[in-house]
Amino acid sequence: MRLVARQMLLLLCAAGFAATLSSAQIANVEGRTSISLDGSWNSIVDPYETGIQSRYFLNAKPKTKSDLVEYDFARSPKLRVPGDWNTQRESLLFYEGPVWYQRDFSYQKRPHTRTFVHFGAANYQARVWLNGNRLGEHTGGFTPFYFEITDQIADGENSLVVEVDNTRRADGVPALHTDWWNYGGLTRSVRLVEAPEEFIADYSVQLAKNHTDQIEGWVQIKGTPRENTVTVEIPEARQKQTAQVDSTGRASFRMQFKPELWSPDKPKLYRVVLSVGDDNVTDHIGFRTIETRGTQILLNGKPVFLRGICLHEEAPFRSGRAFSEEDDRTLLSWAKELGANFVRLAHYPHNEEMVRLADQMGLLVWEEVPVYWDLQWQNPSTLENAKSQLREVIARDRNRPAIVLWSMSNETPIDEGRTEFLKQLIAYARQLDSTRLITSALNHTDRSGENRTLNDPIGEYLDVLGLNEYIGWYEGTPEDAERTRWNFAHNKPVIISEFGAGAVFGLHGDTETRFTEEYQANLFQHQIAMLQHMPALAGMSPWVLMDFRSPRRPLPGIQEYYNRKGLISDRGQRKQAFYVLQKFYRENAASGLKDVH
């Protein structure tokens, strides 16, 4: 047993996980004192992986005229951070491989202060050096990570170097094939975060299970305790509680108070202030319940129909990876305009601001890890990788009321190895967060005439069944949708997590002509008709809000390396199908769902 654990550890270290496994949490970096390192960074594109051997991380300069240094960050081209490199330089559009980032910054050390460098995300693998010292590395393109640099940071000038490598890997998560652009780079903000010696690393504040008049939670303290008392305040509700920190640095609390509940109709958030010693963190948190009863999803105890839409983290108007509040707000406003109360953030964790905006705007969220199509199901390091991405996103977003569903996977094959892998991931998700619903987007169904049955064995372990189906696009005609009779082997709520059709904005023709707006609109009409008699339906999130770049979509004049299944073009133009779905959602919202059944 011991040996197995040791082998596992060695395997993980070899795969570069040691750094992430040992790093502490720092929840809510935006709510803390921080110094932004966003802006213009020097960059060296390194297709032949010369950088490690040539020690780019030293950011060396020749000291004499005879010194040989074959790189020079200061005179190399710049890249903006946050941002993908693909859309910043034409020659990098299809580039996959390592790129080295470097920037100087000055820093004034302060006594009794701990300093961390925090990355919102780097796709896919990152290795980090400060002043030539290796800080560590991180795997996974969509979750935050950081390193403590209190002892390495200099008072004065510093040089930070990051090698980001977006090479696709057979053992990765995702693996070699995706239907989205493999945007590389420091795609989210980089910042220095400061905290006192004893600080609040992480916390959870939410309704106690089965009680709408009690808030419970915990605060995790790191560092040498100066004080053993944590204070939790919700000023608007005149609530103030203190709790003792135990020997593991954790303080648990419970408050007797009946909050106004958060919902899409009234996304009420309370200001919550947590403090210990010299540290305090402010957050805005809403309180709601989410559960299932038979084939229904209950929000705050009442059945809710999820009127949703899928979206990629793709920037409107300019294309590329979305990262700013403006990008996020545009996307979520379009979802609201559609009449949605729900978004599926496909197929990986989107940026933290997106989820915080969903909290504020009243959109329920399905958040997903990139366990997409086929992975190395038998490879223990691939499973560890998926678990680590899941752990990081749950740690980042556990206080967001908008998130109601954690999705474990998208369109994975039915085989034993896959099922075992997902079972372990599901068990891990439940261990990390027992309050939300677990789902997966499934797509393998049995067919017999007009009958279709979803009977994926993983269904037994999920709370909600996601189903992707492309009747009328990848198979059959749109009219076939209406004739289809659905059966579900598990008595659980079903969300149609995808259906859709490609259409070029402004391309017109009859309803049988591919890629016309009419084809797409007609398909939406027939799909909606099908949903009216679908048993167990608790929600839907058609594919997809906006056109997005995909290397799998080369059709000249039509796709041009974009997946055109958006209801809105990449330039923000609404296609006919947008209005078909909007009409359905508006009527549905007015009649109050359940009647879809």
Q: Which residues bind ligand GCB (CB under 6 A)?
A: 179, 347, 410-411, 468, 498, 543, 563, 565
| 28 versus 563: smaller Cβ distance to ligand GCB | 563
Distance CA 371, CA 549 (A): 20
Sort strands 156-165 and 98-107 into parallel, antiparallel or unpaired: antiparallel
Sort strands 239-244 and 199-207 into parallel, antiparallel or unpaired: unpaired
Closest CA to 270 of 353, 359, 343: 359
Q: Which residue is nearest to ligand GCB (CB)?
A: 179
| 279 versus 411: smaller Cβ distance to ligand GCB | 411
Element (H, E) at 307: strand 306-311
Q: Provide, rounded to whole angstroms, the least separation between the CB of residue 470 and ligand GCB.
A: 7
Distance CA 179, CA 286 (A): 34
Tally the C-alpha atoms within 13 A of residue 299's C-alpha that lie toward its C-beta: 25
Distance CA 162, CA 37 (A): 12
| 159 versus 407: smaller Cβ distance to ligand GCB | 407
Element (H, E) at 13: helix 2-14
**171 and 381 in contact (C-beta within 8 Å)?**
yes
Tell me which residue has tokens 């209950």.
298
Q: Provide, rounded to whole angstroms, the least separation between the CB of residue 101 and ligand GCB.
A: 29
Q: Provide, rounded to whole angstroms, the least separation between the CB of residue 543 and ligand GCB.
A: 5
Q: Provide, rounded to whole angstroms, the least separation between the CB of residue 460 and ligand GCB.
A: 22
In what order do the strands lie in the sheet containing 485-488? 445-448, 451-454, 485-488
| 287 versus 473: smaller Cβ distance to ligand GCB | 473
Q: How far is CA 102 from CA 84, 117, 325, 567, in A?
A: 15, 14, 25, 39
**560 and 549 in contact (C-beta within 8 Å)?**
no
Q: Provide, rounded to whole angstroms, the least separation between the CB of residue 412 and ligand GCB.
A: 11
| 407 versus 484: smaller Cβ distance to ligand GCB | 407
| 351 versus 410: smaller Cβ distance to ligand GCB | 410
Per the omega criterion (within 30 degrees of 0), is the bond before 494 cis?
Answer: no
Closest CA to 360 of 352, 370, 349, 368: 352
Q: Provide, rounded to whole angstroms, the least separation between the CB of residue 411 and ligand GCB.
A: 5
| 304 versus 501: smaller Cβ distance to ligand GCB | 501
Q: Provide, rounded to whole angstroms, the least separation between the CB of residue 347 and ligand GCB.
A: 6
Q: How many CB atoms lie within 10 A of CB 583?
A: 14
Q: Provide, rounded to whole angstroms, the least separation between the CB of residue 468 and ligand GCB.
A: 5
Distance CA 35, CA 324 (A): 17
Distance CA 188, CA 157 (A): 23
Residue 5 burial class via C-beta count within 10 angstroms: exposed 0-12, middle 13-18, buried 19 and up:
exposed
Q: Provide, rounded to whole angstroms, the least separation between the CB of residue 46 and ligand GCB.
A: 30
| 82 versus 320: smaller Cβ distance to ligand GCB | 320
| 371 versus 528: smaller Cβ distance to ligand GCB | 371
